[in-house]
Amino acid sequence: MLPPGSFEGRVAVITGGSSGIGETIARHLAALGATVVLLGRRPDALREVVASIREAGGSAAGFAADVRDRERVEAVLAEVVDRYGRIDHLVNNAAGNFRVAPEEMSPNAWNAVVRIVLDGSWHCTQTVGRHLIARGGGGSVVSIGTTPALFGDPDTAHSASAKAGVLAMTKSLAIAWGRHGIRLNVVTPGLTDDTGAVSQLFAAEGAYAANLEKIPVGRHANRDEIAEAVTYLLSDHAGYVTGQNLVIDGGRSLGIG
């Protein structure tokens, strides 16, 4: 969608870039000329995706890091700046989620998800933001949201609450850092094929088909459709867009709100 070379000379960090939507975002950014840096917990998964992006002619590196670990996040991002001289873009994509009734959720279960989604996004965003401000500004951040953050979901209150926090963080920092030329936005996908969400949340018999029934356009999203929106919002073509939430759910949430 974007002209070739749109991210030439840029460095983009993608958390959870070793699978699902994050992997596809990384592939799109690399194809548009960015050096992509992937963060995730599993080194083998990172190695595989990095090798495949390089085979396709892209520039990529992977760092094993749990985004909940502030010290590790700071150390990795400092190493990225040392190695490449800059970070221009951040995609807060790493997430954890599972279905559990709120009255049955243990404190650890709540924390596991909130610390990945909300704390992890904060650790990465503040660290990258400080780098961007120190270098004189510019740059952009996209965080991946979820429709339950807007409308609620009884089975994923931890994820919905954390993602609502990420949306509020995005709007707050968009105001704070606008004068530094730093833009922050959210992309909120509906259920997207070939991702952890499908296996993690829609594995029960009939759940995937039942969800399909609720979508006006009659199908689930594909990973490229989400990645294209993310690359647009990260790019200079979206230079006047900040603090916004782009919902890409085939009309699923229409009539709910």
Ligand X SMILES: NC(=O)C1=CN([C@@H]2O[C@H](COP(=O)(O)OP(=O)(O)OC[C@H]3O[C@@H](n4cnc5c(N)ncnc54)[C@H](OP(=O)(O)O)[C@@H]3O)[C@@H](O)[C@H]2O)C=CC1
**Backbone φ, ψ for residue 208 (5° rounding):** -65, -45
Residue number of the CB atom closest to ligand TC6: 96
Closest contact distance (angstroms) between CB of 8 and ligand X is 26
Q: Give 151 or 239: the residue with its C-beta nearer to ligand X.
A: 151
Q: Is the separation of the CB atoms in 63 and 39 below 8 Å? A: yes
Shortest gap between Cβ of 21 and ligand TC6 (angstroms)?
Answer: 9
Question: In the structure encoding, which two tokens stand for residue 234, read together?
Answer: 């990260």
Sign of torsion over alpha carbons 79, 81, 85, 90:
positive
**Dihedral of alpha carbons 28, 34, 35, 41, sign:** negative
Considering the rule CB under 6 A, would residue 157 count as an interface residue with ligand TC6? no
Q: Does 212 participate in binding ligand TC6 (rule CB under 6 A)?
A: no
Which residue of this chain has its Cβ atom nearest to ligand X in the complex? 196
- Token pair recorded at residue 120: 């992890």
Binder of ligand TC6 out of 143, 159, 170, 231 (CB under 6 A): 159
Q: Which residues bind ligand X (CB under 6 A)?
A: 15-16, 18-22, 39-42, 45, 66-68, 93-97, 116, 120, 144, 146, 189, 191-192, 195-197
Binding-site member from 64, 75, 81, 109 for ligand TC6 (CB under 6 A)? 109
- Using rule CB under 6 A, residue 24 touches ligand TC6: no
Contact (CB, 8 A) for 131 and 179: no
The whole-angstrom separation of Cα 181 and Cα 195 is 33
Quick note: the x/- pattern for ligand TC6 over 131-150, rule CB under 6 A, is ---------------x----
Distance from CA of residue 42 to its chain's centroid? 17
The two three-digit tokens of residue 61, written as one number: 């590196």
Sole binder of ligand TC6 in the list 33, 48, 86, 98 (CB under 6 A): 98
